[in-house]
């Protein structure tokens, strides 16, 4: 025991430095595969190296670290890695602003933030650190991309981008502010350019059905993904175009409403709309207005429904009636067929449109229990068919099949499943990203860069002059020769969407040092991630892309697991005065100042105590002070105890020799251990675990017993408190564990088991009187409260006989002796 520590004050700087130094020197968190042990892979979402950590990071990484340290104490082989999501637009913005190349800006930030993470005492295996901007990382996604190209899972097609005609450049969505360019305020337009896509739609069904197996994910996130994938069962119907020899296809989920169709509507980008635009100027103007920026679905939903008649007519497949074909701004080109059969009586959007343009509303579904008033709104529920000729009387569900069969027989329709999910466009016209490994040859077309020429390294020594990506102006980068025919050819200068890099980093950590494979055999030991921790803002895109990439890697034979993340914890936001901490609101608190003033343990304890991890956490200076005081209190109690140990004789704990106060404290200690174990291990309610230890500390502080067994009980209590707090406040507990007489490093100690025998309460006998006369005896827990004792007394049968029909005047409880019930007739 380092007796010189006794009576020293709690000095967080010294303590934290020394613990961190020890962990680093002993490489204690470095892990390798060990088949004899159960593995636990704990991953927190890696940060974008923006410059410095914010409180959201501190919260995220503390949660992951507490779980990791707890699992390690459970005897598992725990891997907890960390890295950097290092590509992205902010680095380019900084380059414009400060004239520093994105590469050096990013790497400086990484160095600073790595140091900050180390100051938080996070139990990472730093040997696995990766930065996605390094060629030894992104070369593997370039490699996979060329494999998938060969398999037909990536393809090229033209798609719209935001284009600034003044700067002559593509803009990211974030760079379009109120429809204008962020730099020059020019109106942004849409432009169609060739881009690369991943066929994520090939995996739509698996991505959807496997959600059911992810029972370690929050229901909310699974629902969000389900809606995003958006599976619809419906019928694709071909309407003949009057006077022409061709069809217009629509997709509907409600073929039961076929007889209520009164017009058709197509998207502005639809062929038919384009043809009408050639013929009529007003149609051309309307189409132009619709195809300007902002056809994102959210915009479409919110804007006023507008349309125009194309002049074309469609022929109803059952009645043969001619129906007008409109262009409508709420029909999306990217969904179904880009055309709808409109049923104003039973679809609200169609109803609003029909009402506005004076189109007929024809009811075909009814329901006896609903008061349907089609003058007010559409009736959108399913029901029973009317006004539908041979289909009258059918239920909507039966009609679905009957009408689909009818159309199928006439070669005018077939059942089809549609997904809202679109293929993933991965081309970005930005500089700071991984180059797309394609060479465009006039003769051979798009040719993937052969393995031997990978990686295609992004030039890092660049200057940002004017606008646009610097590599688009660097012939030394893009001028090359075709790998197929050897003639001069042009390298792709677009880069990958940065979601690419974050879609597989979790797998790369398993074999981060491999320079011969994307991931190797070691991944099959570690995957899937047992616990993933991160923000809810990634509930859809990042998690969906990562799940997709996992399946791509599986199908390329690289890994075996079907899903990447077994359990998902989405941490809540850090709020200040009720709103999210953010730079733009100017309400941030800098973690660095917090760590310097109070230490990492206080920061960690506050974060874990202030709220359950999945709920938002309100910043509180008083809460931080409270956390700091609590740590000091634990420190002082241990010091005081060690002083007493020096001044008194000590002995081993002898459970049979304890008096009732000693037994009582021991019971509280073991109850708390049981609760903390359940709260941390199963419920993930770290806040209630901490509250239990705080409450226990009150009893420990009051316990003043320097007898041999008193000190032994105290020693056990303090050891257990230090052990269960160690995942949360690892530095001070590292120190206190030694102060309590252990040489062994607390990190390698197992998680304590509570002593079930200690929880058994002592029982004592009490007598029950009615009006002073002995009527019964009962056994009562020695800790029982007055209320409990009273209640138990009233339950006694004999007592009930004597008070039946009487009024209870008062009840006197003499603890540990008797209860007297005073009654009157």
Paired tokens of 4? 């010189």
Q: How many residues does the chain have?
A: 825
What burial letters (b/e) apply to 564-583, b meaning 16+ CB within 10 Å? bbbbbbbbbbbbbeeeebee
User: Measured from the CB of residue 197, what is the shortest distance to ligand ANZ in angstroms?
Assistant: 19
- The nearest distance, CB 200 to ligand ANZ, in angstroms, is 18
Which residues of this protein are in contact with ligand ANZ, per CB under 6 A?
Answer: 232, 251-254, 257, 331-332, 335-336, 338, 340-341, 343, 346-347, 418
Please, which residue, 20 or 418, has the CB nearer to ligand ANZ? Answer: 418
Asked whether the bond before 528 is cis by omega within 30 degrees of 0, the reply is: yes
Classify the phi-psi angles of 811: left when phi > 0, otherwise alpha if psi is within -120 to 50, otherwise beta.
beta
- The one of ligand ANZ, Zn ion, none whose footprint includes residue 293, by CB under 5 to 8 A per kind, is none
**Helix (H), strand (E) at residue 69:** helix 55-73
Using the minimum distance from each CB to Zn ion, give the nearer residue, 6 or 446: 446
Question: Hey, is 441 helix, strand or coil?
Answer: strand
- Nearest distance, CB of residue 150 and Zn ion, angstroms: 17
**Binding residue for Zn ion (CB under 5 A) from 14, 296, 299, 485?**
485
Which C-beta is closer to ligand ANZ: that of 383 or that of 528? Answer: 383
How far is Cα 789 from Cα 754, in angstroms, rounded to an integer?
28
From the list ligand ANZ, Zn ion, none, which binds 444 (C-beta under 5 to 8 Å, kind-based)?
A: Zn ion
Residues 6+ apart with CB under 8 A from 100: 94
Name the one range near Zn ion by CB under 5 A: 24-32, 483-491, 568-576, 719-727.
Answer: 483-491
Q: Which is nearer to ligand ANZ, 165 or 334 (CB)?
A: 334
482 interacts with, out of Zn ion, ligand ANZ, none, CB within 5 to 8 A per kind:
Zn ion
Cα–Cα separations (whole angstroms), residue 676 to 66, 623, 687? 13, 21, 10
Contacts of 479 (CB under 8 A, 6+ apart): 488, 490, 491
363, 345 contact by CB (below 8 A)? yes
- DSSP designation for 109: H
Of 516, 518, 447, the C-alpha closest to 488 is 447
d(C-alpha 144, C-alpha 152), whole Å: 12
Instruction: Decide if residue 443 touches Zn ion (CB under 5 A).
Output: yes
Cβ-based neighbour number of residue 163 at 10 Å: 22
Task: Pick what 484 binds: Zn ion, ligand ANZ, none; C-beta below 5 to 8 Å, kind-dependent.
Answer: Zn ion
| Nearer residue to ligand ANZ within complex by CB, 253 or 765 | 253
> Which partner, ligand ANZ, Zn ion, none, binds residue 443 by CB below 5 to 8 Å per kind?
Zn ion
Cβ closest to ligand ANZ, residue 332 vs residue 575: 332
Q: Please spell the DSSP secondary structure of 626-691, one letter per residue.
A: HHHHHHHHHHHHHHHHHHHHHHS------GGG--HHHHHHHHHHHHHHHHHHHIIIII--HHHHHH
Residue 344, CA distances (Å) to 152, 356, 371, 375 in order: 41, 11, 17, 11
Query: At 351, is the secondary structure helix, strand, or coil?
Result: helix
Residue closer to ligand ANZ by CB (options 252, 493) is 252
Q: Which of 270, 276, 312, 309 is nearest to 291 (CA)?
A: 270
Residue 648: φ, ψ to 5° = -125, 165
Closest CB to ligand ANZ among 256 and 719?
A: 256
Asked whether the beta carbons of 419 and 204 are under 8 A apart, the reply is: yes
Closer residue to ligand ANZ in complex, CB, 231/633: 231
The partner in contact with residue 738, picked from Zn ion, ligand ANZ, none with C-beta cut-offs of 5 to 8 angstroms by kind, is none
Task: From 165-173, 219-227, 435-443, 688-696, give the range in contact with Zn ion by CB under 5 A.
Answer: 435-443
Q: With CB cut-offs between 5 and 8 Å by kind, which of Zn ion, ligand ANZ, none does residue 502 bind?
A: none
- Give the nearer residue to Zn ion in terms of CB position, either 482 or 553: 482
Binding test (CB under 5 A) with Zn ion, winner from 42, 214, 277, 482: 482
CB of 438 to Zn ion, least distance (A): 12
Contact partner, 485, from ligand ANZ, Zn ion, none, Cβ < 5-8 Å per class: Zn ion
| Min CB(421)–ligand ANZ separation in Å | 12
Smallest distance from the beta carbon of 388 to ligand ANZ, in angstroms?
13
Check residue 441 for interaction with Zn ion (CB under 5 A): yes
Classified as helix, coil or strand, 3 is helix
The first and second tokens of residue 586, run together, are 């100017």
Q: What is the closest distance, in whole angstroms, from the C-beta atom of residue 296 to ligand ANZ in the complex?
A: 13
Partner whose footprint covers residue 251, from ligand ANZ, Zn ion, none (CB < 5 to 8 Å by kind): ligand ANZ
Q: Residue 121 binds which one of ligand ANZ, Zn ion, none, with CB within 5 to 8 A depending on kind?
A: none
Paired tokens of 176: 């379009």
| Nearest distance from C-beta of residue 336 to ligand ANZ, angstroms | 3
- From the list 38-46, 133-141, 437-445, 620-628, the region that binds Zn ion by CB under 5 A is 437-445
Partner in contact with 336, chosen from Zn ion, ligand ANZ, none, beta carbon below 5 to 8 Å by kind: ligand ANZ
Residues 6+ apart with CB under 8 A from 741: 1
Stretch that binds Zn ion, among 298-306, 354-362, 434-442, 461-469 (CB under 5 A): 434-442
Q: Does residue 484 bind Zn ion (CB under 5 A)?
A: yes
Nearer to Zn ion, 135 or 444 (CB): 444
Could you tell me how many residues of this chain bind Zn ion (CB under 5 A)?
6
Q: Which is nearer to Zn ion, 177 or 488 (CB)?
A: 488
Binding-site ranges for Zn ion (CB under 5 A):
441, 443-444, 482, 484-485
């Amino acid at each position: 025991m380092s007796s010189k520590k006794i009576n020293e004050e709690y000095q967080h700087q010294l303590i934290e430095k020394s613990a961190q130094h020890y962990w680093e020197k002993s490489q204690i968190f470095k892990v390798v595969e060990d088949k004899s042990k159960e593995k636990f892979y704990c991953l927190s979402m890696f940060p974008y190296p923006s410059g410095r950590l914010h409180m959201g990071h501190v919260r995220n990484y503390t949660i992951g670290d507490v779980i990791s340290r707890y699992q390690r104490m459970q005897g598992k082989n725990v891997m907890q890695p960390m890295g950097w999501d290092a590509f992205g637009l902010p680095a380019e913005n900084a380059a414009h602003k400060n004239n520093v190349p994105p590469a050096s800006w990013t790497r400086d930030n990484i160095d600073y933030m790595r140091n900050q993470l180390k100051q938080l005492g996070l139990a990472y295996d730093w040997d696995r650190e990766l930065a996605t901007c390094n060629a030894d990382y992104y070369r593997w996604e370039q490699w996979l991309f060329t494999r998938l190209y060969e398999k037909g899972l990536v393809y090229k097609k033209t798609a719209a981008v935001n284009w600034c005609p003044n700067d002559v450049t593509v803009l990211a969505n974030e760079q379009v502010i109120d429809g204008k360019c962020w730099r020059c305020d020019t109106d942004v337009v849409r432009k169609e350019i060739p881009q690369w896509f991943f066929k994520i739609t090939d995996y739509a069904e698996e991505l959807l059905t496997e959600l059911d197996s992810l029972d370690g994910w929050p229901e909310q996130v699974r629902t969000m993904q389900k809606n995003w994938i958006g599976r619809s069962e419906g019928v694709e119907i071909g309407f003949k175009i009057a006077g022409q020899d061709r069809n217009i296809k629509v997709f509907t989920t409600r073929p039961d409403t076929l007889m209520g169709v009164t017009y058709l509507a197509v998207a502005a980008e639809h062929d038919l709309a384009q043809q009408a635009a050639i013929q009529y100027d007003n149609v051309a103007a309307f189409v132009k207005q619709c195809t300007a920026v902002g056809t994102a679905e959210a915009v479409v939903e919110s804007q006023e429904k507008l349309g125009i008649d194309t002049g074309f007519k469609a022929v109803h497949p059952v009645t043969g009636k001619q129906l007008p074909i409109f262009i409508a701004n709420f029909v999306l080109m990217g969904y179904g067929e880009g055309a709808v059969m409109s049923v104003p009586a039973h679809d609200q959007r169609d109803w609003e449109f029909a009402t506005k343009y004076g189109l007929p509303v024809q009811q075909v579904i009814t329901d006896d229990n609903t008061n349907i008033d089609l003058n007010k709104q559409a009736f959108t529920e399913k029901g029973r068919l009317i006004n539908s000729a041979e289909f009258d009387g059918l239920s909507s569900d039966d009609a679905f099949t009957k009408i689909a069969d009818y159309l199928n027989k006439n070669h005018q329709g077939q059942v089809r499943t549609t997904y809202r999910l679109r293929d993933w466009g991965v081309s970005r016209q930005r500089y700071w990203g991984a180059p797309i490994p394609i060479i465009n040859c006039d003769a051979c077309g798009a040719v993937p860069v052969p393995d031997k020429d990978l990686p295609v390294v992004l030039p890092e020594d660049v200057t940002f002059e004017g606008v646009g990506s610097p590599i688009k102006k660097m012939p030394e980068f893009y001028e090359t020769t075709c790998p197929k025919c050897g003639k001069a050819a042009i390298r792709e200068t677009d880069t990958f969407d940065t979601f690419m890099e974050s879609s597989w980093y979790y797998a790369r950590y398993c074999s981060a040092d491999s320079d011969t494979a994307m991931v190797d055999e070691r991944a099959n030991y570690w995957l899937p991630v047992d616990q993933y921790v991160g923000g809810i803002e990634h509930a859809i895109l990042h998690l969906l892309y990562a799940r997709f990439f996992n399946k791509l890697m599986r199908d390329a034979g690289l890994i075996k697991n079907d899903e990447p993340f077994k359990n998902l914890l989405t941490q809540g936001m850090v709020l200040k005065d009720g709103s999210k901490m953010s730079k733009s609101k100017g309400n941030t608190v800098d973690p660095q100042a917090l760590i310097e003033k109070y230490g990492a343990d206080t920061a960690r304890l506050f974060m874990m105590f202030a709220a359950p991890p999945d709920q938002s956490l309100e910043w509180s200076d008083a809460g931080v002070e409270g956390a700091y005081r609590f740590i000091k209190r634990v420190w002082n109690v241990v010091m005081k105890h060690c002083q007493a140990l020096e001044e008194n004789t000590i002995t081993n704990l002898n459970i049979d020799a304890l008096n009732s106060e000693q037994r009582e404290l021991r019971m509280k200690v073991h109850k708390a251990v049981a609760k903390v174990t359940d709260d941390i291990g199963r419920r993930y309610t770290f806040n209630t675990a901490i509250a239990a230890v705080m409450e226990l500390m009150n009893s420990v502080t009051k316990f003043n017993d320097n007898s041999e067994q008193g000190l032994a009980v105290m020693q056990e209590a303090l050891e257990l408190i230090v052990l269960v707090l160690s995942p949360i406040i690892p530095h001070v507990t590292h120190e206190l564990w030694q102060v309590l007489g252990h040489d062994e490093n607390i990190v390698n100690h197992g998680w304590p088991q509570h002593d079930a025998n200690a929880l058994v309460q002592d029982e004592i006998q009490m007598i029950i009187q009615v009006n002073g006369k002995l009527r019964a005896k009962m056994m009562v827990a020695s800790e029982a409260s007055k209320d409990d004792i009273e209640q138990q007394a009233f339950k006694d049968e004999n007592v009930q006989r004597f008070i039946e029909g009487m009024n209870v005047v008062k009840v006197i409880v003499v603890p540990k002796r008797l209860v007297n019930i005073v009654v009157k007739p």
